[in-house]
Homo-oligomer: A and B are copies of this chain.
Amino acid sequence: MPELRKDPIIGRWIIISTERGMRPADFIVTPPRTKGGFCPFCPGNEASTPDEITAYRNNDSKPNTKGWHVRVVPNKFPALKVECQLDRTGDGVYDKMQGVGAHEVIIESPDHNETLGTISTKQFEEVLWAYRDRIIDLKKDERLRYILIFKNHGEAAGASLEHPHSQLIALPIIPKRVGEELSGSLEYYKFKERCIFCDIIRQEKNQQERIVTENKDFIAITPYAPKAPFEVWILPKVHESNFENSQKHIYENLSTIFTDIIKRMNQVLNNPPYNYILHSAPVRNGEMLNHFHWHFEIMPTLTKTAGFEWGSGFYINPTPPEEAATFLRNVKI
Contacts and interface: CB of A to CB of B under 8 A. Distances in A.
Interface string A4-37: 0111111111111110111110111000000000
B269 A177 contact: no
Interface of A: 3, 5-18, 20-24, 26-28, 79, 92-94, 148, 150, 152, 155-158, 169, 171, 175-181, 184-185, 188, 196-197, 199-200, 203, 207, 223-230, 268-270, 272, 274-277, 279, 297, 299, 301-308, 310-321, 323, 327
Interface of A, helix, strand, loop or mixed by DSSP? mixed
A312 B177 contact: yes
Nearest to A7: B225
B299 A22 contact: no
A14 B277 CA distance: 20
Contacts of A316: 14-15, 17, 79
A52 to B, nearest CB: 23
B311 A277 contact: yes
A3 B150 CA distance: 31
A94 B12 contact: no
A311 B314 CA distance: 14
18 contacts: A10-B177, A13-B314, A14-B226, A14-B227, A15-B314, A17-B317, A18-B320, A24-B230, A24-B270, A27-B302, A79-B316, A93-B196, A148-B314, A158-B308, A177-B310, A277-B311, A299-B311, A306-B310
Given A28-B270, A180-B313, A297-B311, 4 more contacts: A3-B320, A14-B227, A16-B319, A148-B312
Contacts of A181: 9-10
Identical chains in the assembly: 2
B93 A203 contact: yes
Contacts of A185: 9
A196 B203 CA distance: 43
A180 B277 contact: no
Contacts of A207: 92
A175 B314 contact: yes
B269 A16 contact: no
Contacts of A171: 314
B7 A307 contact: no
Contacts of A179: 313
A20 to B, nearest CB: 4
A148 B305 CA distance: 15
Contacts of A156: 304
Given A79-B316, A176-B313, A227-B310, A155 B304 contact: yes
B8 A196 contact: yes
A74 to B, nearest CB: 16
Contact of A310 (B18, B299, B314, B319): B299
Contacts of A188: 8-9
